[in-house]
Structure 1
Amino acid sequence: MNTKIKFQLSFMMFLEFFIWGGWFVTLGTFLGENLNANGGEIAKAFSTQSWGAIIAPFIIGLIADRYFNAERILGVLHLVGAFLMYQMYGVDDFAAFYPYVLGYMILYMPTLALVNSISFNQMKDPAKEFSLVRVFGTIGWIVAGLIISYVFLWDSPEGRSEGMLKNTFLMVAIASAILGLFSFTLPKTPPRVSKDEKVNIASMLGFDALKLLKDKNFLVFFIASVLICIPLAFYYQNANPFLSEIGVSNPTGKMTIGQISEVLFMLLLPYFFKKYGFKKTILAGMLAWTIRYLLFAFGNPGELAFMLIIGIALHGICYDFFFVSGQIYTDTKAGEKYKSAAQGLITLATYGVGMLIGFWIAGKITDTYLLEDATHTWQTIWMYPAGFALVVFLLFALVFKNEEVEYKN
């Protein structure tokens, strides 16, 4: 790639994840404090991510892969997304907010595949080149959190009481409009499939890879992947409201430590894979979820604030060691024939079905431990995902038989 294309792809990734991190992290806090949403309603809003993940293959398979250039669809989706974000900025009750966030996530989730497709289309060696472009997405997410906490102070006690968190939607609307327009300048990425080719819904959803479940080890991994998304949903939905409610300063900015650790542990993953193998690496990721939630349960913003920071910093192990390792394992088990289908199936099962169940459970439990003064019994709430992650860890350790998996970067 020449320097111009590297810049274009890196800026595209930066904005793509700046947009996601610029509102999704503080969503739970905004809904609870500014729209008076309960746990069930907050769960409903977060579940739009899962519905977007479930619907995304249809948008990609039926439209993006067949009729239009990927960069043009990316531009249109983000321009419409900018409009929906601006609408979210202006509403003052959950009933009006929900249709906009649902529509937005149905449009946004397909863009995650589109930015990857546009990037891969320009790379001669994606294994070496993609990570150097993708890392700018993580930087974008970090910058969004730092702006919210340290530049505009929107998540400070004063900012939240004055309703300033709604400004995150305006910020993201502007960024989405910029990316929408910028997308039309990106390198051309034409459709990959002839529009006359027969549509195979099963292939789009990854169902062709279901035969891999006949392998007992892969079946165990598949079930564990769905189940581990339940404790994951607690983090996405409750971490920012929890930190804000207990009085942690600049909570959104501090949560960017999780993305920083994600980059660091991504670099360490090849070493762990080579030294300890797939099973021990993925078990470390599962155990990290339990440790993280125990730290949240017993930490506080005073003398034990370090426990909260460590809990956030464990995000790199939680995500990379489980999900990235899982993607590598899936790629190895599937082989060339079912590679794309298998990855699609895992994505549908985790970010679709698994997270959908997880958000619902997290909402129910959060509402159960809501006190009369509108605060929560957070210690009890965090013990649920800690225990659930521990059960998944033990089941995987006992049932999954160790096998050699080659790390492919």
Structure 2
Amino acid sequence: MNIKTKLQLSFMMFLEFFIWGGWFVTLGTFLGNNLEATAGQSSMAFSTQSWGAIIAPFIIGLIADRYFNAERILGVLHLIGAFLMYQMYQSTDFTAFYPYVLGYMILYMPTLALVNSISFNQMKDPAKEFSNIRVFGTIGWIIAGLVISYLFVWDSPEALKAGMLKNTFLMAGIASAVLGLFSFTLPKTPPTVNKNEKVTISDMLGLDALKLLKDKNFLVFFISSVLICIPLAFYYQNANPFLAEIGLPNPTGKMAIGQISEALFILALPFFFTKFGFKKTILIGMLAWTVRYLLFAYGNADELSFMLIIGIALHGICYDFFFVSGQIYTDTKAGEKYKSAAQGLITLATYGVGMLIGFWIAGLITDSLTLEDGTHAWDSIWIYPAAFAAVVFILFALIFKNEKVEYKS
């Protein structure tokens, strides 16, 4: 790959995740402060990610893979996304806001697959080359958080009272417009499927991989993957509002520690696979979810703020040790025939079904523990996902039989 192409793909990845990290992390805080949304309404807004994940395979399978170049679809989706971001920026109540965020996520989630397709199409050895490009996405997410907290200070108590957090949508909208226009300069990535070739719903959703569920171990892993997304939803939906409400300075910037941790711990994954094996690595990831939420429950923004920072920093273990390990496990179980279908099925089950259930439960529990003055009993709220992750940990430890899984980078 020549240097020009590397720079193009790296900038594409940077903007792709700068956009997502630039508004999604602070969404819960924005909804509560600017739109006076309930936790139930916040769960509806966060659930648009899941609806987008469920609908994305249809957009990719019916349009992107069959009729148009991937870079052109990416450009169009982000230009429309820029308009929807501007509409969210202007929204003054949840009723007006929700249709725009739903429409945006339906359009944004397919772009995650598109940027991967564009990148893979330029690589001779994706296993070695892709991580060097994808890391710029993580950097983009980190920079977005730092910009919000330390450059513009939109998440400070004074700025929150002034409603300044809505500017995150304007920032993300501008970045979306830039990526939309830039996409038309990217290397050409033509359709991968003949438009006359029949593609079934089963193909698009990866349902052929359901045959893998006959394997008891894979079935246990599959169910555990869906269940662990319930505590994950609590983090996405509640972490930023929680940190902002209890008065932790620069909460969005500090949450970027989680992405730094994610980038570092993925480098440690081969060691853990070799040293402890797949089952113990997965269990470490599950246990980290319980520990994280207990730290959130008993920490505070004063002398125990270090507990909150450690909880955020555990994100690398929480995410990499379970989800990345799970992708590797799925790849080894599926084999060549069902490889793509199996990954698609896991994505649909976790970010689609699992997170959808998780956001709904998180909304119900958070609403039920909202106090009369509008604050929340956070110590009680965080106990629920901690306990749930602990139950999943115990069930997986007891039922899943250990088997050898080779790490594939």
- Secondary structure (helix, strand or coil) at the match of 1:122 reads coil
Alignment of 1:23-42 (within 5 A): 23-42=23-42
Q: Which runs of 5+ in 2 are unaligned?
A: none
**What residue identity is the alignment partner of 1:181?**
L
Residue equivalent to 1:399: 399
Alignment of 1:8-407 (within 5 A): 8-407=8-407
- Of stretches 198-207 and 240-249 in structure 1, the one that deviates more from structure 2 is 198-207
1:319 Cα deviation from its structure 2 partner: 0.2
- Secondary structure (helix, strand or coil) at the match of 2:278 reads helix
Alignment deviations for residues 359-384 of structure 1 (CA, whole Å, 9 cap, x no partner): 00000000000000000000000000
- Secondary structure (helix, strand or coil) at the match of 1:68 reads coil
Matches of 1:87 and 1:198, distance apart in 2 = 38
Matches of 1:72 and 1:275, distance apart in 2 = 45
Matches of 1:85 and 1:70, distance apart in 2 = 22
1:393 Cα deviation from its structure 2 partner: 0.3
1:199 Cα deviation from its structure 2 partner: 1.9
Matches of 1:172 and 1:376, distance apart in 2 = 29
Alignment deviations for residues 248-301 of structure 1 (CA, whole Å, 9 cap, x no partner): 000000000000000000000011011111000000000000000000000001
1:203 Cα deviation from its structure 2 partner: 1.1
1:155 Cα deviation from its structure 2 partner: 0.3
TM-score, length of structure 1 as denominator length: 1.00
Matches of 2:13 and 2:266, distance apart in 1 = 17
Matches of 1:198 and 1:215, distance apart in 2 = 29
**What residue identity is the alignment partner of 2:49?**
Q
Q: Which runs of 5+ in 1 are unaligned?
A: none
Matches of 1:39 and 1:352, distance apart in 2 = 20
Matches of 1:183 and 1:67, distance apart in 2 = 17
Matches of 1:9 and 1:268, distance apart in 2 = 25
Matches of 2:91 and 2:232, distance apart in 1 = 29
Matches of 1:237 and 1:25, distance apart in 2 = 8
Q: Determine what percentage of the aligned residue pairs are the same residue.
A: 83
Matches of 1:124 and 1:352, distance apart in 2 = 31
- Secondary structure (helix, strand or coil) at the match of 1:187 reads coil
Matches of 1:304 and 1:199, distance apart in 2 = 55
Matches of 2:345 and 2:27, distance apart in 1 = 28
- Secondary structure (helix, strand or coil) at the match of 1:47 reads helix
Matches of 1:189 and 1:366, distance apart in 2 = 44
Matches of 1:280 and 1:124, distance apart in 2 = 34
Matches of 2:289 and 2:259, distance apart in 1 = 15
**What residue identity is the alignment partner of 1:403?**
E
Alignment deviations for residues 213-245 of structure 1 (CA, whole Å, 9 cap, x no partner): 000000000000000000000000000000000
Alignment deviations for residues 8-27 of structure 1 (CA, whole Å, 9 cap, x no partner): 00000000000000000000
C-alpha RMSD of matched pairs (Å):
0.3
Matches of 2:62 and 2:173, distance apart in 1 = 27
Matches of 2:273 and 2:79, distance apart in 1 = 41
- Secondary structure (helix, strand or coil) at the match of 2:364 reads helix
1:200 Cα deviation from its structure 2 partner: 1.1
**What residue identity is the alignment partner of 2:327?**
Q
Matches of 2:33 and 2:366, distance apart in 1 = 15
Matches of 2:374 and 2:156, distance apart in 1 = 18
**What residue identity is the alignment partner of 1:47?**
S
**What residue identity is the alignment partner of 1:200?**
T
2:7 pairs with 1:7: yes
Matches of 1:384 and 1:234, distance apart in 2 = 9
Matches of 1:243 and 1:329, distance apart in 2 = 34
1:171 Cα deviation from its structure 2 partner: 0.2
Matches of 1:93 and 1:200, distance apart in 2 = 40
